C-alpha cells in the first residue's frame, strides 16, 4: 500500500500537467475528463511533408555520393567529384532534420490554433484538489461471480510545486453468481456510500486546512505591507531630518 501523504504538505501545490494526459488514469471518474485536442489535418500534412523530404534527402545524398565516387574512379573533374560527395554526405547526415522541423512547425501551428482549448484544459486541471478519494465499481468473472472493487486515489508530491495521484485497489469483495441480485446490489451501494463518505470527510479536512493556510498567507501579506509602509514613512522622515541637518535654517 502506498504511504499516506501529509495533506498539510500538499496545500499550496498545483496539479501536475501530466494528469491531463499520460497520468489521466490516476484520477477517479468523479473529477471528469479534460477536453481532447483533436489532431488537425494541417499537422498531418506538415508531418507527412517532413517525412517525404527526409526520404528524398536520404536517397539524393546516397545518389550523389555514389555518383561522386564513380566520377572519381573514371578520372573526372576533382572539384565536381568532391562537391558531389560532400553534398551527398551533408544530405545523408542531416536528412532527419526535416522530421524535427516538421514536428516543431506542426507544434507551433497547433499551439496557436488550440490556445483556447489548452486554456480550458488548464482551467479544468486547476479544479483538482489534493485530497484522497475512493471509488467503487463492479466487474463480472467468467464463472458469473461479481466483484465489488474499491480503488483509492491518494495525492502525492510530484515536485517542489506540483502534486499527482497514486491509484491502488484497496478492497475486492467477491459474490457468487447464485446470490440474489438485490443482495449484491444492496452491498455494492453500502460500500459506495462508505467510499463517498470517506471522500467527503477528506475533502472537508483538506478545505479546512487550505482555508487556514490562505488566511495565514493573507495575514502575513498584510503585515508585510504594514511594515513596508512604516519603513517608507520612517525613511522619508529620516531623509527630511538629514536634509535639515545638512542645511540648517538661518537664525537671527
Q: Residue 36 in 3-state DSSP? A: coil
Per-residue pLDDT at 241? 62
Per-residue pLDDT at 7? 66
How far, in Å, are 44, 49, 66, 183 from residue 38 at the CA level?
11, 20, 44, 44
Task: Report the 10 Å Cβ neighbour count for 58.
Answer: 17
Is 142 a residue whose pLDDT tops 90? no
**Distance, CA of 224 to CA of 203 (rounded, Å):** 31
Is 211 a residue whose pLDDT tops 80? yes
Helix and strand numbers, DSSP H then E, in the chain: 5, 4
Per-residue pLDDT at 3? 47
Percent of the chain surpassing pLDDT 90:
28
Per-residue pLDDT at 151? 96
More confident residue, 79 or 168: 168
Per-residue pLDDT at 1? 44
Per-residue pLDDT at 143? 87
Q: State pLDDT tens for residues 16-30.
A: 988 988 888 999 888
Q: State pLDDT tens for residues 39-77.
A: 556 667 767 777 777 887 778 878 878 877 777 777 766
Q: What single-letter DSSP state applies at residue 95?
A: T
Q: Residue 242 in 3-state DSSP? A: helix
Q: State pLDDT tens for residues 152-190.
A: 999 999 988 999 999 999 999 999 988 998 999 999 999
Report the b/e string of 80-92 with b at 16+ CB within 10 A: ebeebbeebeebb
Q: Per-residue confidence at 224, pLDDT binned at 50, 70, 90?
A: confident
Mean pLDDT, residues 210-236 taken together = 72
Q: State pLDDT tens for residues 85-137.
A: 777 787 777 766 766 776 777 666 665 555 567 778 888 898 999 999 999 99
Amino acid at each position: 500500500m502506498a504511504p499516506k501523504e501529509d495533506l498539510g504538505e500538499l496545500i499550496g501545490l498545483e496539479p501536475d500537467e501530466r494528469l491531463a494526459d499520460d497520468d489521466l488514469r490516476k484520477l477517479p471518474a468523479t473529477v471528469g475528463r479534460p477536453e481532447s485536442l483533436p489532431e488537425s489535418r494541417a499537422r498531418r500534412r506538415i508531418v507527412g511533408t517532413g517525412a517525404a523530404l527526409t526520404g528524398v534527402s536520404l536517397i539524393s545524398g546516397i545518389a550523389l555520393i555514389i555518383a561522386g565516387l564513380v566520377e572519381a574512379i573514371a578520372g573526372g573533374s576533382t572539384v565536381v567529384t568532391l562537391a558531389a560527395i560532400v553534398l551527398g554526405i551533408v544530405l545523408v547526415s542531416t536528412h532527419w532534420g526535416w522530421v524535427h522541423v516538421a514536428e516543431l512547425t506542426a507544434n507551433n501551428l497547433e499551439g496557436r490554433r488550440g490556445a483556447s482549448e489548452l486554456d480550458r484544459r488548464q482551467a479544468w486541471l486547476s479544479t483538482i484538489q489534493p485530497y484522497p478519494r475512493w471509488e467503487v465499481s463492479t466487474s463480472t468473472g467468467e464463472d458469473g461471480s461479481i466483484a465489488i472493487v474499491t480503488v483509492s486515489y491518494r495525492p502525492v508530491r510530484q515536485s517542489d510545486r506540483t502534486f499527482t495521484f497514486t491509484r491502488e485497489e484497496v478492497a475486492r469483495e467477491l459474490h457468487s453468481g447464485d446470490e440474489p441480485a438485490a443482495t449484491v446490489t444492496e452491498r455494492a451501494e453500502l460500500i459506495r456510500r462508505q467510499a463517498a463518505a470517506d471522500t467527503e470527510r477528506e475533502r472537508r479536512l483538506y478545505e479546512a486546512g487550505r482555508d487556514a493556510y490562505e488566511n495565514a498567507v493573507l495575514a502575513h501579506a498584510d503585515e508585510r505591507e504594514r511594515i513596508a509602509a512604516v519603513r517608507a514613512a520612517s525613511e522619508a522622515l529620516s531623509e527630511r531630518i538629514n536634509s535639515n541637518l545638512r542645511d540648517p535654517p538661518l537664525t537671527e
